């Protein structure tokens, strides 16, 4: 049985969706309940910048692979030692 490798991108997309929801939740709570100071704004800027940088770097790395290839389940389990 062969499975296209791009199925892994579905799980990655779900992970990104959950991470984005957490990001928005945290961002909202920092804005709503945080102190109204410049330091809070700097923390928000660093938080948003680091999240954006991680997503951009991940997209750059993922885009280098050929996601049209397939993998067979039998090959996957024969490469694991002890099986």
Beta carbons within 8 Å of 55's beta carbon, 6+ residues apart? 16
Q: Is the confidence at residue 83, as pLDDT, over 60?
A: no
pLDDT digits (tens, 9 = 90+) for 36-81: 889 888 999 999 999 999 999 999 999 998 888 888 877 767 766 6
Tokens at 31, concatenated: 């804005």
Alpha-carbon distance values, 47 to 10, 15, 16, 54 (Å): 26, 18, 16, 11
């Amino acid at each position: 049985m062969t499975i296209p490798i791009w199925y892994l991108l579905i799980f990655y997309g779900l992970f990104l969706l959950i991470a984005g929801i957490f990001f928005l939740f945290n961002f909202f709570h920092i804005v709503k309940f945080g102190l109204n100071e410049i330091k809070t704004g700097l923390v928000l800027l660093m938080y948003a910048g680091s999240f954006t940088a991680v997503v951009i770097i991940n997209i750059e790395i993922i885009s280098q692979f050929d996601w049209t290839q397939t993998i067979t389940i039998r090959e996957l389990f024969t490469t694991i030692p002890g099986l």
